[in-house]
Chain A
Amino acid sequence: MTQIIPLSWYLAVSMLLFSMGALGVLIRRNPLIIFMSIELMLNAANLAFVAFARSFGVPTGQIFVFFVMTVSAAEVAVGLALIIIIFRNKHSIDVDLMNSLKG
């Protein structure tokens, strides 16, 4: 019979992916990769949601994942548009070159 994989394992994977995503956001200068890292973090969260949903036997977790996907799709669209504009204006997408908000 199939071995039951404990919930905490899934959560551990999720946690690992989340941390790596956060690290990616922090150490990369390319905004595209930063974005991808954010997607990675969202995915990690989604994985946790689905795992919990499975654990508690309710569909709500899955529904949340569904909403997160929609929002992230919208977010990616807007974000990429912003990146394109920034590139148009600055001819570079290096986030470290953008500090006009400096106090």
Chain B
Amino acid sequence: MGSSGLFSLVPLIVFLPVAGLLINMIFGGRLSEKTIGAIASAATGLAFVIAVLLGVALWTGSGETVVVPFADWIHIGDLNVAWNFRVDTLSVLMMLVVSGVGTLIHIYAIGYMHEDVRFKHDIPRYRRFFVFMNLFIAMMMILVSGDSYLMLFVGWEGVGLCSFLLIGFWYDMDTLGRPSFANSNAAKKAFITNRIGDFGFLIAGFTMFWWFKSLNFGDVFSMATTIPAGVILFITIFLLVGVAGKSAQIPLFVWLPDAMAGPTPVSALIHAATMVTAGVYLVARSAPLYTLAPQAQTTVALVGGITALFAATIAVGQYDIKKVLAYSTISQLGFMVAAVGMGAFVAGMFHLVTHAFFKALLFLSAGSVILGMERGHHHLAHQEGHGSPESADREHRQQELSDSGHLEEVFDPGDMRNMGGLRKQMPVTFWLYLIGALALAGIFPLAGFWSKDEILADAFQKFPAVYWLLTIAAFLTAFYMGRQVWMVFFGKPRHAVAEKAEESPKVITVPLMVLAALAILGGALNLPGIHTLTSWLEHTIAGVEAGEFNFLVAGLSTGLALLAIFLSWLLYERQPLAEGQKDPLKKLLGPVFTVFERKYWVDEFYWAVFVNRYVDIARFLANVIDGRFWHDFVHEKVIAGTYNWLSRTVLDLGVDRHFIDAIANGLGELTKRISTSLRRLQNGFVRSYALAVLLGVVVIVGYLLLK
């Protein structure tokens, strides 16, 4: 079959992005911005082509799993991990999403980063962005295409690194461009939180190895039934820790909102569409293990459900356009995790795909809004300033920098309270954003409707408690998206900048249109009754069944969504928010809204309970235990001190000076006295010495003669 030849192309999905990043890294200094962006986009685009080819090969072939051996990696004793590529319907689906959405975001980033690096006055950093992005795509591909848990882990940590690098892309400032450690703190937080998840992953991996003697998916899954259930439960629970870290579930979700410090394309690609869904992928991939451990499934579903609701409530109280989307992402990830936890693997993966479309769309549109605002800000600065536009801008920037101590004086282009009425200034963006928002809210017939309903229908059947959690979360989702759209695009501009906002160029809007089309049509992937995705994934995940379309569930959720949108209209559009006015919800909910706004004080709680305590412990260990105890006390006092005491006091004073010294000094004194008198002989005149020699000769000869 010709398709087997296609399968051998699979390493290219990793090596094309690697080639892209190497080209940009080595030759990028001499290339123009457009070329750099084009190379990076082309590398990702070609990876997409490869993914499509693989999909076609699977589609036309049997659809069964193909393992493509590539290279030996670690081989110690009975541990044998090779870098093999696993091509099956699940991994190809992920590859398509990653490279497809990835390509669009790369193209978008050509335009976005062009403006961003100018706005932030660091043009050389443009190249670095695309190097990191390509690295991310490569790592993500390793993650989804690996044939063993260890290779998955390689990608898992690799994307964590890229996430770190890209969140901290503007590492020398905070989100508003003031010099600060804030962005790099966010990056660090993401990495370390992810590492906590990775710790769980590692423990799961070790347990797996010592029971299965292998980390390959094939070996593990085929042996799973022969292993005690307790072990499987242990493994799956620890995998869940990893999932919670990577997919931002309770209790490790705190890094994702902060991750919005990265440039918007990063938020869209890594922190919405692809990397954060790796946890969902992991659970779906480990389906054979999870189905053997019902308690683990329950735990996963509950974690997902609670996260979905919890994050949705926080999203209601946020003002930053990207923060709302970030909490929305956590919430939607909760939907997916809940779905795969309940065993509705197809529904989870389906939502993963559609969510990638519409959340990427939303983030990128939000980026477009922010860019528009920044442009408006720029114009305003020119009008106020004097001389040439560039110098005015620089002056303005310097003034901003010098004022960095005062938060309120720095304009925040991402704050929704500064926006309003933007649909007139940015019509294209508005329509695109609207599509994304409706899809997320789950309005028929957009993609979100189908995928969310499939999850809800499954939950309704399998896990009522989770069903209710998710339904309320869905209601809140529609509400906060409605709130956002009303606040940003309707009403009157609440800030001079919003009046001057400008529409984004084509390089930004065109990828958005493609994503919008996908957000509208994405539901077609797994329409009820046809179940394309279900039959696609059936080849990989054994025992998936097509969900029944439940009109009651669908009707209820649509109804709730519409109600929520209506409520948000009542609150935010009938009486549009005025400049400086407080959120109307605040009056309504009072302290509850404050709780949402302050994110339940989870960050503060973690800070107080874990971070500060760790810092305290570290300081204590370093200063008190290591410094004062081991170093100053044990070493200096006990060891060195005792030795000194022994040598100085006991031996030197006691034994030496009063006993041995007495003898030695007496002898020494005698010698000294004798020598003092004798040294007079040493007058230094060579002739006296010769005379002495002669005297000696005379005496000796005389002695010999007289003897």
Contacts and interface: CB of A to CB of B under 8 A. Distances in A.
* Chain A–chain B contact at Cβ < 8 A: yes
Interface of A: 22, 25-26, 29, 34, 95-96, 98-103
Contact of B684 (A22, A25, A29, A98): A98
A25 B687 contact: yes
Q: Give the contact-size bracket for chain B.
A: 10 to 19
Interface string B676-707: 00011111111100110010000000000000
A26 B691 contact: yes
B453 to A, nearest CB: 110
Interface of B: 679-687, 690-691, 694
Contacts of B684: 98-103
Given A22-B694, A26-B694, A102 B687 contact: no
A98 B686 contact: yes
Nearest to A96: B685
Contact of B690 (A26, A29, A100): A26
A26 B687 contact: yes
Given A22-B694, A25-B687, A96-B685, 11 more contacts: A26-B690, A26-B691, A29-B687, A95-B685, A98-B684, A99-B683, A99-B684, A100-B684, A102-B684, A103-B681, A103-B683
14 contacts: A22-B694, A25-B690, A26-B694, A34-B687, A95-B687, A96-B687, A98-B685, A98-B686, A99-B683, A99-B685, A101-B684, A103-B680, A103-B683, A103-B684
Contact of A103 (B682, B686, B691, B694): B682
Contacts of B686: 95, 98
Contact of B682 (A25, A29, A96, A101): A101
Contacts of B694: 22, 26
A10 to B, nearest CB: 20
Q: Which of A22, A95, A103 has the most CB of B within 10 A?
A: A103
A98 B684 CA distance: 7
B683 to A, nearest CB: 6
The 7 A-B pairs at the shortest CB distance, nearest first, are namely A99-B684, A103-B682, A102-B684, A103-B679, A101-B684, A99-B685, A95-B686
B680 to A, nearest CB: 8
A63 B681 CA distance: 40
A82 B671 CA distance: 35
Nearest to A22: B694
A102 B690 contact: no
B697 to A, nearest CB: 8
A22 to B, nearest CB: 6
Contacts of A25: 687, 690
